[in-house]
């Protein structure tokens, strides 16, 4: 008869509210090779872009020496006039662009482009995202290079003209690690703080008022409360919207307050500095080179300068084989075979200050 039929539970009127997670978009960004992520970091966080530019400017210059003075002059003329991607010339432009790609992507790729008469060469710095690296199945230590375009992947015919550099490659990985890896999360916090500070100051600078009308105890005033409130609102809007200074005059018990005046704006100095410390520690450049006036002793500044010197020397060791390979390829096209030695200029504090003054 249905006497023991279970009663239906009343439907709950509560609904789940999904709270937007603003940090989710940064959760999996570093799990794959994405140059766009690191480029956006440099665009959105100026101190990251400035730190990388400082490192590149401080890399310094070099001279190439062989056992023949005529060969030295030939290489010197080559490095002074070599075409870089059709937009610039000179080996210094090459080292600047090549190191920029290396630090940003973790992988830098350049191609030596001979002229039609094979008497001169040009250099083209490829976008790492347009190149695929694969291990050779027969020879695992050899790397096959494929160029990606709208027609698919095509294997490079002459890999001897391609030079690849990687920064801190992980085991069993053909690609390097960007110097910006690990910074998306910290940078997102920094950008959120700046965004919140900007919105708070926009609201604080454009003041909003709360006008409250309190009717008196008599019955007549209570009956006309709505009408009086509309009149007050019209007069207040006219006074606030006028380009001229106007006074607001009214009769009755009226209370005017600034909306949000009781709230306190959070102090962003400490969290911003913590984020900047993480960014600077990852890139490895002293704070004073970025114009940050953080207190530091003379001994600490000396240690920071020594660490910067070791960072620059590490990047020089990556660039040296690439430059030597370019020089040897050029000499082989001319029918020469020479031992080449690359001599970098000394790194001093004066060089660092000079690099900053030039900027």
Where residue 239 falls (left for φ over 0; alpha for ψ -120 to 50; beta otherwise) is alpha
To which H or E segment does residue 89 belong? Answer: strand 88-89
End-to-end CA distance of the chain: 92
Question: In sequence order, what are the residues at sequence separation of 6 or more whose Cβ sits closer than 8 angstroms to the Cβ of residue 268?
Answer: 193, 197
Q: Please state the φ and ψ torsions of residue 49, each to the nearest 5 degrees.
A: -65, -40
User: What DSSP letter does each residue of 194-249 carry, written as one string?
Assistant: HHHHHHHHHHHHS--EEEEEE--SSHHHHHTHHHHHHHHHHHHHHHHH-SS-----
Instruction: At 198, list the tokens.
Output: 């900007």
Give the residue from 89, 91, 83, 143 showing the smallest Cα distance to 113.
Answer: 83
Distance CA 236, CA 257 (A): 13
DSSP 135-190: E-SS-TTSEEEEEEETTEEEE-S-GGGEEEEESSPPTT-SS---TTTTHHHHHHHH
What pLDDT is stored for residue 204 in this prediction?
Answer: 67
Q: How far apart are CA 66 and CA 338, in angstroms?
A: 7
359 residues of the chain, pLDDT tens digit each: 443 344 444 444 444 444 344 444 444 434 334 568 888 888 889 999 999 999 999 998 999 999 999 999 999 999 999 999 988 999 999 999 999 999 999 999 999 999 888 788 999 999 888 888 988 888 888 888 888 876 778 888 888 899 999 999 888 888 999 999 889 889 889 988 888 888 777 776 667 777 777 776 665 555 666 777 777 777 777 777 766 766 666 666 777 777 666 667 677 888 888 999 899 889 988 888 888 877 666 677 777 778 888 889 999 999 999 999 999 999 999 888 889 999 999 876 544 444 444 43
DSSP 313: H
Q: How many CB atoms lie within 10 A of CB 312?
A: 20
**Tokens describing residue 2:** 């249905």
């Amino acid at each position: 008869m249905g006497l023991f039929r279970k009663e239906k539970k009343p439907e709950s009127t509560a609904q789940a509210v999904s709270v937007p997670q603003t940090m989710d978009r940064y959760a999996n960004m570093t799990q794959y090779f994405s140059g766009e992520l690191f480029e956006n970091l440099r665009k959105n966080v100026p101190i990251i872009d400035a730190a990388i530019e400082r490192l590149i400017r401080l890399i310094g210059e070099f001279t190439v020496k062989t056992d023949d003075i005529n060969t030295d002059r030939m290489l010197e003329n080559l490095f002074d006039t070599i075409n870089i991607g059709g937009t610039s010339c000179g080996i210094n432009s090459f080292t600047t662009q090549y190191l920029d790609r290396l630090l940003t992507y973790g992988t830098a790729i350049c191609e030596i482009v001979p002229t039609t008469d094979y008497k001169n060469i040009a250099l083209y710095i490829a976008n790492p995202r347009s190149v695929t690296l694969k291990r050779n199945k027969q020879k695992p230590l050899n790397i096959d290079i494929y160029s990606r375009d709208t027609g698919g992947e095509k294997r490079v015919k002459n890999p001897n003209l391609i030079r690849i550099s990687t920064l801190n490659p992980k085991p069993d990985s053909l690609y390097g690690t960007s110097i910006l890896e690990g910074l998306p999360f910290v940078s997102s916090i920094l950008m959120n703080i700046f965004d919140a500070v900007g919105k708070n100051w926009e609201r604080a600078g454009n003041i909003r008022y709360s006008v409250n009308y309190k009717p008196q105890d008599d019955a007549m005033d209570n009956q006309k409360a709505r009408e009086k409130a509309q009149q007050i609102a019209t007069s207040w809007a006219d006074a606030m919207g006028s380009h001229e200074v106007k006074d607001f005059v009214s009769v009755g018990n009226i209370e005017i307050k600034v909306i949000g005046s009781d709230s306190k704006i959070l102090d962003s100095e400490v969290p911003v500095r913590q984020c900047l410390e993480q960014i600077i520690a990852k890139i490895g450049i002293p704070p004073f080179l970025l114009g940050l006036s953080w207190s530091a002793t003379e001994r600490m500044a000396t240690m920071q300068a020594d660490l910067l010197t070791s960072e620059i020397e590490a990047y020089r060791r990556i660039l040296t084989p690439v430059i030597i390979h370019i020089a040897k390829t050029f000499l082989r096209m001319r029918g020469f075979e020479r031992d080449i030695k690359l001599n970098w200029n000394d790194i001093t504090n004066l060089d660092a200050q000079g690099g900053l003054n030039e900027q």
